[in-house]
Amino acid sequence: MSDREFDELVDAMRENHNKPPQTPRDRMWERIEAARSERKIVRMPARPWYASTWVRAGLSAAAVLVLGIAIGRMTTTPDAPPMVADSGSTPPTVAVPTGEPAPRSEATTLVRHAAQNLFGRADVLLTDLKISSCSDTKSRPVPAWAGGMLAQTRLLLDSPLCEDVETRALLLDLELVLARIAGLSNVDCTGDVNRIRRDLNDNATLDRLRLAAAGQGMV
Amino acid sequence: MTDASLVQDILQGDAAAERRLYDLHVDRVFRLAYRMTGDDALAQDATQDTFIRAFDKLGEWRGDGPLGGWLHRVATTVILGHLRKRKRVQSREAQVEDVTVMAGARVDGDPLLRRSIDLAVDELDDNHRLVFVMHDMEGYTHREIADAMGTPVGTAKARLSRARSRLRELLLGTGPMPLPEPE
């Protein structure tokens, strides 16, 4: 088939192949408007910031944390045996007490529960970060969530829980990661997110968080 | 009125500006959808979905290219999505062997020949058919096609060339040669 013959065929296709009719402008516009107004009606009214599930969970955890730390400070005795990590053990998450385990006060238990709660939520956030996409509004990371957890992490860093060096190291790593997520740009965060993901992998942060959330490796 | 000021008006809630944007682009979007689907209802659905999605995502237009190019990128995504959905529920109507056209045959007034041409065009994979339809049937420039498909101009040209070669093969019945995957 020569080029001329092919061009003739293409001309014929232009005339015959799925030749569009007149554009039904008004009919389609009416449907577009109807679809958009329908969605506006069914769209839920915006909830105040304090009604968000994440914010409420964060506030509850923070309240428990503050209470626990306050009670802990009031009840801590100076002669309680210190807990140190066994430097010879390979997994970075497991802390081994040197002597008899210290009796746990209710306050310490409270802080521990608050910490486990935080680690569990951080696990969800960081797992979500692994599959999030900055270019897609529906799966973009949410820096505000990290902001709430960051405050709790800093409170925990000031708690008796940090006498355990591994827990302290985990909290410090978490503080850094959360601060970086909280500072992510809304416009283009792909590069930053990739760097955070790389650091998470390098430091095995998620594995350590999961162990800690399950109550392992914490005093 | 520039694209930027039109978008700004729409983002500020100006309904008349929304209609202006629609009027500016709806013909080309509908024609493309119709050419690709060959189905009035499906073409209308794809056109409507294109504008609904475009209005939703208008804030993401960065102004670094013509608004029409950005809108056509939305349109091509929507149209290809509709085609994929349709393919899932339909079986192929014809086989490659049915499309062969003898060299020198005249198209005018020959319904069988027209049918063969339709089948040959439909035999192209969607990405190559889209480029062919845009350029050879609807007169889009290579630049516009590249913008709409989110590819460099060179890729759009190469895709068109492959689409035309493949179409020529199909029309001559030189046997099915699978196209390489779009890059």
Query: Residue A100 pLDDT more than 90?
Result: no
Same domain? B107 vs B72 = no
Q: How far apart are CA B170 and CA A12, in angstroms?
A: 16
Cβ contact A161:A112 at 8 Å:
yes
What's the average model confidence in pLDDT over B147-169? 91
Question: DSSP letters along B118-158, please?
Answer: HHHHHHS-HHHHHHHIIIIIT---HHHHHHHHTS-HHHHHH
Same domain? B76 vs B125 = no
Using an 8 Å CB-CB cutoff, list chain B residues near A1. Answer: 103, 168, 171-172
Cβ contact B10:B58 at 8 Å:
yes
Q: Which residue has the tokens 């626990």?
A: A68
Query: Residue B138 pLDDT more than 70?
Result: yes
Closest residue on chain B to A32 (Cα) = B48
Residue A119 lies in a domain: yes
B55 touches chain A (CB under 8 A): yes
Query: Residue B87 pLDDT more than 80?
Result: no
Q: Where is pLDDT greater, at A151 or A2? A: A151
Number of domains observed in the structure of chain A = 1
Q: Where is pLDDT greater, at B107 or B46? A: B46
pLDDT at position A49 = 52
pLDDT at position A216 = 65
What domain range includes position A176?
49-79+105-213
Q: Where is pLDDT greater, at A184 or A49? A: A184
Same domain? B131 vs B62 = no
Write phi, then psi, for A81 (nearest 5 degrees): -65, 135
**Distances from the Cα of A133 to the Cαs of A140, A147, B56, B124, in angstroms?**
5, 19, 18, 32
Q: How far apart are CA B64 and CA A158, in angstroms?
A: 48
Q: Where is pLDDT greater, at B105 or A166? A: A166
Using an 8 Å CB-CB cutoff, list chain A residues near B137. Answer: 13-14, 17
B117 touches chain A (CB under 8 A): yes
Binned at pLDDT 50, 70 and 90, residue A93 comes out as very low
Same domain? B67 vs B126 = no
Same domain? B74 vs B155 = no
Contact criterion met (CB < 8 Å) for A20 and B164:
no
Q: What's the farthest any 2 CA atoms get from each other in chain A? A: 98
A162-178 confidence digits (pLDDT tens): 888 888 888 888 888 88
A34 touches chain B (CB under 8 A): no
Q: How far apart are CA B100 and CA B172, in angstroms?
A: 5
pLDDT at position A153 = 87
What domain range includes position B12?
1-91
Residue A129 lies in a domain: yes
pLDDT at position B92 = 44
B92 touches chain A (CB under 8 A): no
> Helix axis angle, A53-75 relative to A106-131, nearest 10°?
150
Binned at pLDDT 50, 70 and 90, residue B100 comes out as low
Angle (nearest 5°) at CA B91 between B87 and B95: 110
pLDDT at position A65 = 72
Contact criterion met (CB < 8 Å) for B34 and A18:
yes
Q: Which of B91, B106, B124 is the last residue of a domain?
A: B91
CB neighbours of residue A86 within 10 Å: 12
Using an 8 Å CB-CB cutoff, list chain A residues near B73. Answer: none
Number of domains observed in the structure of chain B = 2
Closest residue on chain A to B35 (Cα) = A18
Same domain? B113 vs B59 = no
Structure-token pair, residue A218? 């914490």
Residue A54: half-sphere exposure toward Cβ, Cα within 13 Å: 14
Contact criterion met (CB < 8 Å) for B107 and A24:
no
A17 touches chain B (CB under 8 A): yes
Kindly report the average pLDDT of chain B as a whole number.
Answer: 83
Using an 8 Å CB-CB cutoff, list chain A residues near B37. Answer: 18
* CATH of residue B138: 1.10.10.10
Chain A closest-CA separation from residue B171 CA (Å): 9
CA A168 to chain centre: 20
Query: Residue A94 pLDDT more than 50?
Result: no
Amino acid at A108: T
What's the average model confidence in pLDDT over B148-169? 91
Q: How far apart are CA A55 and CA A57, in angstroms?
A: 5
Same domain? B80 vs B11 = yes
Q: Which of A12, A20, A21 sits opposite B117 (nearest CB)?
A: A12
Closest residue on chain B to A3 (Cα) = B168
Q: Which of B31, B65, B91 is the last residue of a domain?
A: B91
